[in-house]
Structure 1
């Protein structure tokens, strides 16, 4: 049975004429960034675009949905940076605000994001919210959203001599999350923004995800 959120999303599309016949050409690649506060979502968005175009709030994180367009490696890209939608304490008693922010993010990524990039801070405390991320994404964006979800680890420099694979294997919960997202993951060191190889590799992995999904966006 079609979920209530999916019905609302389809109704919202129809109301705004978001069909394939819409003459306005969307970006070749639409990326919606998710994660808790202070994991490096905004820094990641700026690293992908190779410049400081996204703003941050007083707590060094995005305070509202924000969209930026740019050409990166020959691709027309739209990135939608989001507030800490996974921050349970923030939204626990404000479900209407959560729904509003989610709907705004989807509106900015119309006709739909190609990928949800889930940002997780390495060597940070892996919280209950992050452990339940897949369920959260399915509940708020629909069952199908997980097929479009990609995990990106930030603060790669904190691992020192340990490999990313070793770090993931140490945590059954983290390994389970990666498996649920089709073993799609990458890492960034946002302190080394001049290293565009990490961006190129991310975009190539995202393009493979899109190919695996038959070229469809969410």
Structure 2
């Protein structure tokens, strides 16, 4: 496992958040919707995520513990049949819901079903968020569906789990052996190790900056509308996003706007 094969030790020296922070934003990722939702419910102390029916969009919920905490739960981004277009849409939505950026990626990994394909896809997703994403990540291994003697050793020797823990700077916890204050302390520790900074999702900055203000609001829930077309004014650099069901009407409107801007420029 490397120089540090053991999970993080208990420590009371870290509070939940630095004094200048108003909220903690956490993105839940992993290979089991049920487990991610259970962890989210565990953190907030109430049933906010349905552990049975998996939605096809990201969900954002918040609660107040010692400080405000915001959780963004994702659909099954590791599913091999998910197209790259759909995956990109989900990640963009996740970026918007965690605006201006997540503080922690909580990777809930179910070892029984975590394959090499899952590992490579999760690695790619985190890298798409930011090249600093692994500095903000924590692996949480949930209680297995069927416990057996020596299961901890077995899972810790799993090459896919070992690789993910290594990439996350050896930050990992067993859900069975921690309580809520301990988990919150670990999340706060990651924030403090990163000087209170959130992840800057530069890859999708152009997309989110092009959206109207109400689409960037972190309070928005449910799936985001896909961006069908965009018009950029050469005169001022002002960007307009065109949303709707009719591509033909959007094209006509875009041509009208561009033509109108050119006419104004000529009149000047």
Cα distance in 1 for partners of 2:22, 2:55 equals: 22
Cα distance in 2 for partners of 1:130, 1:182 equals: 19
Cα distance in 1 for partners of 2:135, 2:22 equals: 20
Please list the CA deviations of residues 62-90 of structure 1 after superposition, one character each: whole Å capped at 9, or x if unmatched.
43111111012x1210001110111122x
1:217 paired residue number: 198
**Does the 8 A contact of 1:37 with 1:87 survive in 2?**
no
Q: How many residues align?
A: 180
1:207 aligned onto 2:183: no
Instruction: Quote how far apart the aligned CAs of 1:40 are.
Output: 0.9
1:30 aligned onto 2:25: yes
1:192 paired residue number: none
- Please identify the structure whose Cα radius of gyration is greater: 2
TM-score by length of 2: 0.60
1:69 aligned onto 2:62: yes
Mapping of residues 96-175 of structure 1, within 5 Å: 96-122=85-111, 124-133=112-121, 135-156=123-144, 158-162=146-150, 164=152, 166-175=153-162
Cα distance in 2 for partners of 1:158, 1:184 equals: 24
**Does the 8 A contact of 2:28 with 2:71 survive in 1?**
yes
Instruction: Quote how far apart the aligned CAs of 1:31 are.
Output: 0.6
Cα distance in 2 for partners of 1:38, 1:70 equals: 20
Instruction: Quote how far apart the aligned CAs of 1:113 are.
Output: 0.6
Q: Which runs of 5+ in 2 are unaligned?
A: 1-19, 200-268
Cα distance in 2 for partners of 1:136, 1:82 equals: 15
Instruction: Quote how far apart the aligned CAs of 1:174 are.
Output: 1.8
1:178 paired residue number: 165
Match of 1:84 among 51, 76, 81: 76
Cα distance in 1 for partners of 2:144, 2:31 equals: 17
Please list the CA deviations of residues 18-53 of structure 1 after superposition, one character each: whole Å capped at 9, or x if unmatched.
xxxxxxx98521110011244511111111111111
CA change 1:138–1:49 in 2 (3 A) is closer
Instruction: Quote how far apart the aligned CAs of 1:214 are.
Output: 1.5
TM-score by length of 1: 0.73
Cα distance in 2 for partners of 1:138, 1:46 equals: 23
1:22 paired residue number: none
1:50 aligned onto 2:38: no
Instruction: Quote how far apart the aligned CAs of 1:168 are.
Output: 4.0
**Does the 8 A contact of 1:26 with 1:111 survive in 2?**
no
